[in-house]
Structure 1
Amino acid sequence: MGLEQFKNRNVGTQNYKMLDLGESPKTGMDKFKQVVNRTFKLELLVGLGVTMREMINALFRGQMHTVKYPFEKLPISPRYRAIHDMLRLLESGHYRCIGCGLCEKICISNCITMDTRYDENQRKEVSEYTINFGRCIFCGYCAEVCPELAIVHGPRYETASEQRASFSLFEDMLTPIDKLNLQQEYDGFGAVSPNADENIKKTPLAY
């Protein structure tokens, strides 16, 4: 197909049906006549009948098309990514974040702030980590750049709160230690592979 044929919108096998909508009313009397004609054609009653039918089905026949949020929630896609989760190491339970600061540097909305320090074992740890969800646009750059897969986007999407401080608490995003076995892993660097046990080899005695 050439460029000229591609620009021609009538190319194809579609059979278009032209609707006779009549002329648009121009004067006030024409508009009044249109309202009178549509009233006597019972178009208004047909619309009200559809509304009454759906209301009766919902109230008395159990055909409810809505959910009672937040008591009922619709299922979301397993690929859905929303509020951030901070993952832990499965072996020790310590959080995976090494304080490299790449997520803070790549954040295009400037909503991530972190501060690090060295503990008694001279291990770099995160002393303060906040994400302002009021400014976050959920682009996913922080999760993509993380070398340890410490920060990911989880399925939690509720961000309503009475205080802005609760938008960015590190403890709320961190996996609870008692629910470590329920931690959901995502594909990426640092994730546990399905055949991790098979890839473990014995350390040779002689080098």
Structure 2
Amino acid sequence: MSLEQFKNRNVGTQNYTTVDVGRKPETAMEQFSQVAKRTVKGELFVGLWVTMRSMFKALFKGDMHTVKYPFEKMPISPRYRAIHDMLRLLESGNYRCIGCGLCEKICISNCISMDTRYDENQRKEVSEYTINFGRCIFCGYCAEVCPELAIVHGPRYENAAEQRAGFSLFEDMLTPLDKLNLQQEYDGFGAISPNADENIKKTPLAY
């Protein structure tokens, strides 16, 4: 199309096709008849057949295009900051936390509370450790500052609760002994060393 033809706004020279839409129904009976004719058209049953066919494949043939949550979950990134996990030593099964309290001090939302004590081997251990997930903003500072990589962010992200005060105890975040071989390790500063059991007994003084 040339520029002159584009500038020509005379609609009388255009070739339009008139569509016969019929007469507008006036009475109630004519309106009902129009609705009934449009309802029983083939396009409606074609759409219903496509829906029923997809439902039949999903229910009886296993052709499901959705995730069966919570039985199936989508994979998440390894850098995703979800519910915290407390890791254990792979050799002895003891927990790595030395009770230094750095995670409690660096927490900007003031949601970590911990208390320590000395056991019979004069090794400082955690007697009480709680995280209020109602206040936690999952910033990751506690995991970054931990010198022993004892606290990390795990893959659990279901933290819904009926109460606003959602606490998680130390035992709830600790890796179970029967799943110690499935514990995921992280490289970097504070990673586990071959002689970690001997080094972890040399803990700092109580703060």
Partner deviation per Cα, 1:88-131 (whole Å, 9 max, x = no partner) = 11122111111111100111111100011111222111100000
Q: 1:95, 1:158 → 2: CA distance?
A: 24
Give the corresponding residue for 1:171: 171
**Residue 182, structure 1, aligned to residue 199, structure 2:** no
Amino acid at match of 2:132: N
Q: 2:110, 2:53 → 1: CA distance?
A: 51
Amino acid at match of 2:84: H
Distance 1:92 1:60, change over 3 A: closer
Q: 1:92, 1:59 → 2: CA distance?
A: 48
Alignment of 1:1-207 (within 5 A): 64-162=64-162, 167-192=167-192
Could you tell me how far 1:178 is from its partner in structure 2? 1.9
Q: What is the CA RMSD across the aligned residues, in angstroms?
A: 3.3
Q: 1:180, 1:192 → 2: CA distance?
A: 14
- Larger mean CA deviation between 48-57 and 150-159 belongs to 48-57
Provide structure 2 residue ranges, at least 5 long, that are not aligned to the other structure.
1-43, 196-207
| Greater relative contact order (Cα < 8 A, sep 6+) | 2
Provide structure 1 residue ranges, at least 5 long, that are not aligned to the other structure.
1-44, 198-207
Q: What SS does the aligned partner of 2:85 have? A: strand
State the structure with more CA Rg. 2
Partner deviation per Cα, 1:41-77 (whole Å, 9 max, x = no partner) = xxxx9xx999999878867886644322112212222
Q: TM-score, normalised by structure 2?
A: 0.61
Distance 1:187 1:78, change over 3 A: same
Q: 1:100, 1:121 → 2: CA distance?
A: 17
User: What's the % identity of the aligned pairs?
Assistant: 89
Q: What SS does the aligned partner of 1:105 have? A: helix
The answer to whether the 8 Å contact 2:84/2:153 transfers is yes
Q: 2:78, 2:54 → 1: CA distance?
A: 32
Count of aligned positions: 155
Q: What SS does the aligned partner of 2:171 have? A: helix
